[in-house]
Amino acid sequence: MPPSPPESPERYGLAFEAVWFRSRDGLRIDAWWIPAAQPTRRTVIICHGREGSRERELPHAQALHKAGFNVLMFDFRAHGRSEGQHVTFGMYEKDDLLGALDFLAARGIQSAGVLGFSMGATTAIIAAAITDRIAAIVAEGAVARLKRTLARRLRRHGVPLPLGWLLAAWALAFATTIVRGRVDQVDAIRWIPHVQVPILLVHGTADDLISAAEVAELAARCGGRVAIWQVAGAAHHEAAQVAGAAFQQRMIAWFEEYLP
């Protein structure tokens, strides 16, 4: 996916280091390391959504940095400046996030929080189910069931929902053959029972891709501490923009409480 409009942490007053690391399956992942002004191990990894790149989430990096956190931002595979040809909605993107945790471990940081949006939120949940190095998550728009979400996305373009279900099922089956992996297994609902870390689930009430019922089901199945925050009038991946400073305040409060 092409990157979001060119942007740099410098415009937000952030001193940063352009870095890269390897995903667990060997791809080169492009990233920014933004150290806190005062030395600390408290670190948050930001995971962007499908399409675009890390640039979109720079305002959150600025807020986290101001609150005293280190920040690691990276482009998922097949996005922005990172290597990769296929988007897998979290199946292989988890290897990118695990690679980010390996990068931090090499710098003496053994655990981190994750701020994720849409696909990035789903990826955070998947990764947290298989590693103990994620300490807390703020997840906006995590995809509970991918086939259902794809069908709803097709409905945006005038495809009737029953036909959308069939097309989504075909697309997932086709993707499985292309990427040689079970893309249909990335539903957050499958993984969240194995997550033991605190999760703040953020949901926009105008999200036509993820329902409030699905978010409630995610919370009910979560294996650890969980809270839901509904943002009135926000569409998918727009809760942060609609809530503004309130989003950043909640995000920072969550990480301040739960990061060691």
What is the per-residue pLDDT across 56-74, written as a single tens digit (0 to 9) for each?
A: 999 999 999 999 999 999 9
Angle at Cα 133 formed by Cα 132 and Cα 139, nearest 5°? 95
Higher pLDDT, 223 or 23: 23
**pLDDT exceeds cutoff 60 at 2:** no
DSSP classification of residue 183: G
Q: Is the pLDDT of residue 6 over 80?
A: no
Report how far residue 55's alpha carbon sits from residue 229's, in angstroms, rounded to the nearest whole number: 25
Pairing of strands 17-22, 28-34: antiparallel
Mean pLDDT (the chain, rounded): 94
Give burial (CB, 10 Å; 0-12/13-18/19+) of 126. buried
Alpha-carbon distances, residue 230 vs 37, 133, 233 (angstroms): 32, 27, 9
Q: Reduced to 3 DSSP states, what percent helix, strand and coil does the chain have, rounded to the nearest 5?
A: 45, 20, 40
Contact 45, 251 (CB under 8 A): no
Confidence of residue 184 (pLDDT cuts 50, 70, 90): confident
Distance between CA 54 and CA 46 in Å, rounded? 8
Contact 42, 71 (CB under 8 A): no
pTM: 0.95
165-187: average pLDDT: 85
In the predicted structure, residue 5 carries a pLDDT above the cut 70? no
| Burial of 170 from C-beta contacts in 10 A (0-12 / 13-18 / 19+) | exposed
